[in-house]
């Protein structure tokens, strides 16, 4: 483009095969960010919708026909010499066999392998979004037995991301309950985060979940964890989570909740505006159920977080 200050609107697709592997391609050496890996896609042409551009680019670049796709994340990034809006979609169905139509390097890689490749800086939150599921369960209970039973019910619903919150448990039961939950999560290949406010040994947790108070007290990302997340309620907190390089956030409350009747809900429109201001996967929490997933995705969220909604069979 002749005007490098004009923002490029780019459509990109996270494409999975039947084994759950993700398709990545390598940028040409002479291109902007040349030699780095990326998710297939390209800039919108005049008059195109994002989905039209994505379908065209996938056909041109990797020879597949887009059938269905859902929003994943939007990333606004300033490279200094170029501003880019990455409009990233989960490609949920396609026809044809992928091939490198432009002579570019191309690979199918597991979700875990994405971190082994060099991507442009703007792609970092996209990788996190691709590695995260659409549901984030928050585990509570008043006794150790209830915590364990609730955990089993959650895992029976095929939830793969779980926060051990346990703030209603007696202190004497916290460590034992956490260790039991940790074993269950390992058996079911579930990502387990522990709430940072709990006074327990978190060595067996894959991640840490910060309360909004703990988030604002952090000057740097906590170390020693694969995943670090935070609870947020406004733009200041979301921006701080982004600045620390956290992997994802939870934004609440979106709708009125019985557990916090005095909390003023943000509503869907405010959530949309907040998410457009940060480059971070964000789960929507508060007054929502699994059946609100499509609405949350359309609003730009990673998915739904909740306590009670994942206890019942779908």
**pLDDT of 4 above 70:** no
**56 within some domain:** yes
The widest CA-to-CA distance across the chain, in whole angstroms, is: 66
CATH of the domain at 68: 3.90.79.10
Q: Do 243 and 144 belong to one domain?
A: yes
How many domains does the chain divide into?
2
Give the list of residues 6+ apart from residue 177 with CB closer than 8 angstroms, or none.
141, 144, 147, 148, 166, 169
pTM for the model stands at 0.92
Percentage of residues of the chain with pLDDT beyond 70: 97
CATH of the domain at 222: 3.20.20.70
pLDDT at 2: 38
pLDDT at 12: 97
* pLDDT band of 33, cuts 50, 70, 90: low
The whole-chain average pLDDT of the chain stands at 93
* pLDDT band of 307, cuts 50, 70, 90: very high
Q: Do 149 and 98 belong to one domain?
A: no
Q: To 5 degrees, how large is the angle CA 172–CA 177–CA 178?
A: 110
Is residue 198 left, alpha or beta, with left meaning phi > 0 and alpha meaning psi from -120 to 50?
Answer: beta
Under a CB-based contact definition with an 8 Å cutoff, are residues 114 and 32 in contact?
no
pLDDT at 5: 56
pLDDT at 268: 97
**263 within some domain:** yes
* Of 31-35, 38-42, 243-247, the least confident: 31-35
**pLDDT of 1 above 60:** no
Mean pLDDT of the 137-159 span? 96
Q: Which domain holds residue 226?
A: 135-306
The answer, yes or no, to whether the previous bond of 300 is cis (omega within 30 of 0) is no
| pLDDT tens per residue across span 215-268 | 999 999 999 999 999 999 999 999 999 999 999 999 999 999 877 778 899 999
């Amino acid at each position: 483009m002749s005007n490098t200050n004009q923002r490029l609107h780019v459509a990109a697709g996270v494409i999975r095969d039947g084994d759950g592997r993700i398709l990545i391609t390598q940028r040409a050496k002479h291109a902007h960010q040349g030699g780095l890996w990326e998710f297939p896609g390209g800039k919108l042409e005049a008059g195109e919708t994002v989905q039209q551009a994505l379908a065209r680019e996938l056909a041109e670049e990797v020879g597949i026909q887009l059938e269905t796709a859902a929003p994943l994340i939007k990333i606004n990034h300033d490279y200094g010499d170029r501003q880019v809006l990455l409009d990233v979609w989960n490609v949920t169905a396609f026809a044809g066999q992928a091939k490198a139509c432009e002579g570019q390097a191309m690979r199918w890689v597991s979700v875990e392998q994405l971190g082994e490749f060099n991507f442009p800086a703007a792609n970092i939150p996209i990788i996190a979004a691709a590695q995260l599921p659409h549901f984030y369960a928050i585990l509570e209970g008043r006794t150790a037995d209830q915590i364990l039973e609730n955990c089993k019910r959650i895992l029976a619903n095929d939830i793969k991301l779980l926060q051990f919150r346990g703030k209603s448990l007696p202190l004497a039961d916290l460590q034992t309950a956490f260790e039991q939950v940790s074993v269950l999560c390992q058996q079911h290949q579930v990502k387990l985060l522990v709430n940072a406010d709990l006074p327990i040994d978190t060595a067996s947790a894959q991640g840490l979940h910060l309360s909004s108070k703990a988030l604002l007290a952090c000057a740097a990302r906590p170390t020693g964890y694969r995943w670090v997340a935070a609870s947020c309620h406004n733009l200041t907190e979301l921006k701080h989570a982004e600045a620390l390089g956290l992997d994802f956030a939870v934004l609440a409350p979106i709708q009125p909740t019985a557990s916090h009747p005095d909390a003023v809900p943000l509503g869907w429109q405010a959530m949309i505006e907040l998410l457009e201001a940060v480059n971070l996967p964000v789960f929507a929490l508060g007054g929502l159920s699994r059946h609100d997933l499509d609405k949350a995705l359309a609003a730009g969220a990673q998915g739904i977080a909740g306590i009670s909604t994942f206890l019942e069979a779908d």
